[in-house]
Amino acid sequence: MISQFFVLSQRGDNIVFRDYRGEVQKGSAEIFFRKVKFWEDGGLQEAPPVFNVDGVNYFHVKVVGLLFVATTRVNTSPSFVLELLQRIARVIKDYLGILNEDSLRKNFVLVYELLDEVIDFGYVQTTSTELLKSYVFNEPLVIDAAHLSPLGPAAIFTQGTKRMPGIAVTKSVVATEPGGRKREEIFVDIIEKISITFSSSGYILTSEIDGTIQMKSYLSGNPEIRLALNDDLSIGRSQGPAYGYRSSSDSGTVILDDCNFHESVRLDSFDIDRTLSLVPPDGEFPVMNYRLTQEFRPPFRINALIEEAGSLKAEVILKVSAEFASSVTANTIKVQMPLPKCTSRVSFELEPGAVGQTTDFKEANKRLEWSLRKIVGGSEHTLRAKLTFSQESPVNVTKESGPVSMTFTIPMHNVSRLQVKYLQIAKKSATHEPYRWVRYVTQANSYVARI
């Protein structure tokens, strides 16, 4: 049970606010934003997703720069509320096509109608886009996707020979298209988030892949879909040996630790030929979630070296190596490294001919930041940073520095080698062939190298 739900912009503006029970004071949104902006508890740089202020529990998730927040005075399961906030964001995106501040403001009537159907007096009724279509009748005002960021969700899948139209990923599942005819198409996204910890000598200490197969259907008539995965897919680590370091093009069994499926998926033939059958509901939904903890070839190697040059100076050398095919390009890469508390100044030296790279020293929290617009597979990039200390360092500089962390996105690449072999539509249109889009993306979840 929740008392309030609201959405805040990055500036703290209240975009959407709904008070379901009247148990929490009206100024809760301002209290929450000030607490998050000036968080100084427990040494954390950012506020945790759940915290309590004056007897009010605040739950929040950040989605595309917007803060989705729920409040309650009762002892409610944090996992339940956080999952609810994610689902509300997904439902709103299904209806609006694009989830940002502009689309929320232009469609506030529709958003409030959705919130009143999803939650009644603080209790959740449904978060199914398909069920909500029977109760919500307002049409969305569709935002022009041409104004989106070039590195936004509509752009990261435009690499390769067959390009997906940029508007496709930002379409509403309920809006009527110009001309009155609905474009028949279906999207399947294999999204993998990687967590790796490297030792100071470069060995992998821990590695894990959290993956999901997302589907979004714009097919009329709710036809049955058959989705085939790798023939040699195995579930459970005991079913085969670890496959070690192989590239995504190598042969070898794909072994998942565990997985779960959406309620609409039928597994009648999954054990025989690894085929999933389903009638996709409206909106975006996860067909399958999976986890893999066996060794795999990391997409990037991070090497960090610190050389002390006297008592008041030191030099940091960072090298990032891309260990994937040269036909693949990673984008939005950011490398961060905490520096000693007594660091007063940092001067940077990039490699000759470096393009699309920026560096910065965040003096407030003593952190080095290195951003790269893109990295082509098989390439290496190096950064040298010369540190100046305000006082003679009393301890080892290496012990006060690090670890190095990295974030990135790699379109059309997956590390686990899980593949969609084919996507079959049982009932096709008599006049035209539906479009099928299968896309892969790899992202960093926790990519850390110790020094």
Report which of 442, 439, 375, 378 is spatially closest to residue 409, judged by C-alpha positions: 442
Asked whether residue 213 carries a pLDDT value surpassing 60, the answer given is yes
Give the 3-state DSSP-derived string for the chain, with helices as H, strands as E and coil as C: CCCEEEEECCCCCEEEEEECCCCCCCCHHHHHHHHHHCCCCCCCCCCCCEEEECCEEEEEEEECCEEEEEEECCCCCHHHHHHHHHHHHHHHHHHHCCCCHHHHHHCHHHHHHHHHHHEECCEECCCCHHHHCCCCCCCCCCCCHHHCCCCCCCCCCCCCCCCCCCCHHHCCCCCCCCCCCCCCEEEEEEEEEEEEEECCCCCEEEEEEEEEEEEEECCCCCCCEEEECCCCCEECHHHCCCCCCCCCCCCCCCEECEEEECCCEECCCHHHHCEEEECCCCCEEEEEEEEECCCCCCCEEEEEEEEECCCCEEEEEEEEEECCCCCCEEEEEEEEEECCCCEEEEEEEECCCCCCEEEEEECCCCEEEEEEEEEECCCEEEEEEEEEECCCCCCCHHHHCCCEEEEEEEECCCCCCCCCCEEEECCCCCCCCCEEEEEEEEEEEEEEECC
Residue 45: per-residue pLDDT: 72
Residue 438: per-residue pLDDT: 93
The listed range with the strongest mean pLDDT (7-21, 41-55, 219-233) is 7-21
- Between 195-199, 225-229, 307-311, 321-325, the lowest mean confidence (pLDDT) is in 307-311
- Between 90-99, 242-251, 304-313, the lowest mean confidence (pLDDT) is in 242-251
Asked whether residue 253 carries a pLDDT value surpassing 90, the answer given is no
Q: Please report, for the chain, the start and end positions of each structural domain, with discontinuous segments joined by +.
A: 4-133, 184-237+251-296+413-449, 300-411
Asked whether residue 14 carries a pLDDT value surpassing 50, the answer given is yes
Asked whether residue 249 carries a pLDDT value surpassing 50, the answer given is no
Residue 261: per-residue pLDDT: 94
Residue 144: per-residue pLDDT: 67
Instruction: Give domain 184-237+251-296+413-449's CATH superfamily.
Output: Mu homology domain, subdomain B (2.60.40.1170)
- Between 37-51, 379-393, 433-447, the lowest mean confidence (pLDDT) is in 37-51
Residue 205: pLDDT band (50, 70, 90) is very high
Helix pair angle (108-118, 78-96), 10° resolution: 140
Architecture of domain 300-411: Sandwich (2.60)
pTM for the structure as a whole: 0.76
For the residues 8-17, what does the mean pLDDT come to? 93
Same topology, domains 4-133 and 300-411? Answer is no
Among the four given CATH numbers 3.40.309.10, 3.40.1160.10, 3.30.450.60, 3.40.50.620, the one describing domain 4-133: 3.30.450.60
Residue 163: per-residue pLDDT: 45
Residue 448: pLDDT band (50, 70, 90) is very high
For the residues 354-378, what does the mean pLDDT come to? 92
Q: What is the pLDDT of residues 133-184, one digit of tens each?
A: 889 888 888 776 555 554 444 444 444 434 444 444 567 777 665 555 567 8
- Between 19-28, 219-228, 239-248, 422-431, the lowest mean confidence (pLDDT) is in 239-248
Asked whether residue 396 carries a pLDDT value surpassing 80, the answer given is no
- Are 287 and 262 in contact by the 8 Å Cβ rule? The answer is yes
